[in-house]
Amino acid sequence: MLKVIFIYIFLFLISSDILAQCFSSPGNPIGGTANLGSVEKKLLRISAFHKYSLSDYYLEGHKNSDFILYDCADMNFIGSIIAYGLTDKFTLETELGYFINKTIYYDKRLVLPEYKSKGNGFSNSVISAKYSLYFNPDKRIKYTLSAGVKIPFSTEPQYVNNALLPMDVQPSTGTYGTVIQSYLLKENSLKGMRYFLINRVEINTENKQEYQFGNVFITSLFVSKHLHFRWQWLTENWTAILQVRHEYRTKSKNRDIEVGSSGSNLLYLSPQLNYTIKEKWNVSVIADIPLYQYYYGTQLANKFAIGFNLTRDILFK
Amino acid sequence: MRYCGKACAKAVLTGLREFGIQINLIVPIMKKYFLFGFLIVIIMFACKKEKTEEPVTIQLNFTSLVADNDTILPGTTTNITANATGEGLVYTWTSTGGGNIIGSGTKISYATTPCMYGNYEVQCEVKDKAGSSQSKAITIRVQ
């Protein structure tokens, strides 16, 4: 049962991390590697997901801005995550992502040669090692640490029609980075509730264009509950999860000078519904709703995001 | 003289007869060689380069890179135009330090974001079909 809940949360985290991206403080979706840390020995976990995100208004600090440049921006991202438990405590994980599109649409009130800039292609990949530091089966507590390296698909920036794409729509950060995560799980079997606290830090380095994306600090609190209603035949395979996530991004730097309109302080609410098919497949739908957004300078703010996940666990004996 | 004439004629006829036999043998070979030689002559003429006039190539000359406004406010845009002559020109635009390049070809718009202050450089490289290239950069001041 615990395993199934892990999968639920895993799916949820994948989604929320992908959606953590906004166009005003770009780069790539943050990881997707944030699952619950270690998986059991000889367990192969494969996940595929798709995300759509839309941003369509400017914020200056936390107030609306009348600035016009982008009318809106959206992106479609697909990715996969593969994790394998080398031992019961030690897990290796890889992530690969691809932007189907990462597009900004310029405001038609401006007189411009074109009204769209679109990038696509492979994002960064992440390879991480996770180690379960503490597990108390009586108290149902587990704590896991993870360290990984972010590897860009390409260190060269993308051009379209021989014009350099804006940083906002580059599919890859074009540079290496470090990802540190911790996972704390507490389970209450009597109530059928689980609580998760997850921290993630992402350190970015400078790319060839001498641009350094800001570092990212994320704290997520999850509450999950297996659904039990009167009509058990209807609800037995369903799990509801609610996440509150805080994201803090430091300002990006360009040639060692801080980029004025970069960096943010965001709070999201992310409800998710999960369905298990024959205890083998997990299908999940998630929404990302901004509760509070504060952007340094003036930046395009995220309106909403939705996602779909599919995960399968395979245990090798 | 008459005797000489007769003797000469006889000798010639004998010689011809003998020679005739040789001719009979040689004629097919000669025919072959003649045809072969004829073909060579035709090919030589056919392959002979005709004198043509050299095409006039226009040398790449990147004359100017001009902005409508080289000093702009944060969050505004300016057009930048590259003027160049040459054949099969390809324009590659790059900016360093931030800002968006919008469009392609000879004319683009350079858009700055809010809170973007300072000097920013936009480069244009022009390459012709022969592979020659020239670059120019322009500094846009945002204040």
Nearest CA in chain A to B117: A260
Domain count, chain A: 1
ipTM of the modeled complex: 0.79
Q: Give me the count of residues in chain B.
A: 143
Q: B72 lies in which domain range?
A: 61-142
Q: Whose CA is closest to A253, among A218, A296, A216, A210? A: A210
DSSP state of A261: S
A114 contacts in chain B (CB < 8 Å): 102-104
- Token pair 């016009």: residue: A68
Both tokens of residue A178?
A: 């470090």
Q: Give me the count of residues in chain A.
A: 317
The whole-number pLDDT of residue B131 equals: 93
Q: Whose CA is closest to A27, among A105, A103, A123? A: A123
Are A110 and B75 in contact (CB < 8 Å)?
no
In sequence order, which residues have a C-beta less than 8 Å from that of residue A234 and are 6 or more positions away? none
Nearest CA in chain B to A258: B116
Do B125 and B99 fall within a single domain? yes
Cα B8 from Cα B119, distance rounded (Å): 111
Do B36 and B94 fall within a single domain? no
Do B82 and B133 fall within a single domain? yes
Using a pLDDT cut of 90, give the percent of chain A over it.
Answer: 66
Which of A70, A102, A161 would you mutate first to test chain B, the one with the most B CBs within 10 A? A161
Are B102 and A259 in contact (CB < 8 Å)?
no
Do B89 and B69 fall within a single domain? yes
Could you tell me where the beta strands, DSSP code E, fall in A107-204? 116-122, 125-136, 141-151, 159-160, 163-164, 177-188, 193-204
Mean pLDDT of chain A: 85
List the single residue in B96, B103, B116 with the smallest CB-CB distance to A113.
Answer: B103
Indicate yes or no: pTM above 0.90. Answer: no
Query: Model confidence at A212, in pLDDT bands (50, 70, 90)?
Result: very high
Do B68 and B97 fall within a single domain? yes
Are B98 and A167 in contact (CB < 8 Å)?
yes
Are B109 and A112 in contact (CB < 8 Å)?
yes
Which residues lie across from A302 on neighbouring strands? Answer: A55
The whole-number pLDDT of residue A227 equals: 80
Do B69 and B43 fall within a single domain? no
Do B70 and B44 fall within a single domain? no
Strands A264-277 and A257-258: unpaired
> Under a CB-based contact definition with an 8 Å cutoff, are residues A33 and A126 in contact?
yes
Q: Whose CA is closest to A170, among A113, A121, A107? A: A121
The whole-number pLDDT of residue A24 equals: 41
Nearest CA in chain A to B124: A163
Report which of residues A133 and B5 the model is more confident about: A133
Report which of residues A225 and A148 the model is more confident about: A148
Are A162 and B104 in contact (CB < 8 Å)?
yes
Do B10 and B45 fall within a single domain? yes
Report which of residues A25 and B137 the model is more confident about: B137
Chain B nearest C-alpha distance from A109 (Å): 12
Are A113 and B77 in contact (CB < 8 Å)?
no
Nearest CA in chain A to B89: A162
Domain count, chain B: 2
Are B98 and A117 in contact (CB < 8 Å)?
no
Using a pLDDT cut of 70, give the percent of chain B over it.
Answer: 69
Are B113 and A209 in contact (CB < 8 Å)?
no
Report which of residues A78 and B36 the model is more confident about: A78
Are B115 and A114 in contact (CB < 8 Å)?
no
Do B133 and B84 fall within a single domain? yes
A163 contacts in chain B (CB < 8 Å): 92-93, 101-104, 108
Do B38 and B80 fall within a single domain? no
pLDDT (tens digit per residue) in B65-122: 999 999 999 999 999 999 999 999 999 999 987 899 999 999 999 999 888 889 999 9
Chain B nearest C-alpha distance from A168 (Å): 9
Report which of residues A85 and B46 the model is more confident about: A85
pLDDT (tens digit per residue) in A139-175: 999 999 999 999 999 999 999 999 999 999 999 989 9
Strands B71-72 and B133-142: parallel
Which of B115, B122, B124, B125 would you mutate first to test chain A, the one with the most A CBs within 10 A? B115
Report which of residues A65 and A17 the model is more confident about: A65
Do B28 and B66 fall within a single domain? no
CATH of the domain at A204: 2.40.128.130
Do B68 and B46 fall within a single domain? no
> Under a CB-based contact definition with an 8 Å cutoff, are residues A221 and A196 in contact?
yes
Q: Is B143 on the interface with A (CB under 8 A)?
A: no
Q: Whose CA is closest to A36, among A156, A166, A187? A: A187
- Token pair 């507490």: residue: A186
CATH of the domain at B95: 2.60.40.10
Q: A174 lies in which domain range?
A: 2-315
Using a pLDDT cut of 70, give the percent of chain A over it.
Answer: 86
pLDDT (tens digit per residue) in A276-315: 887 778 899 999 999 999 999 999 999 999 999 999 989 8
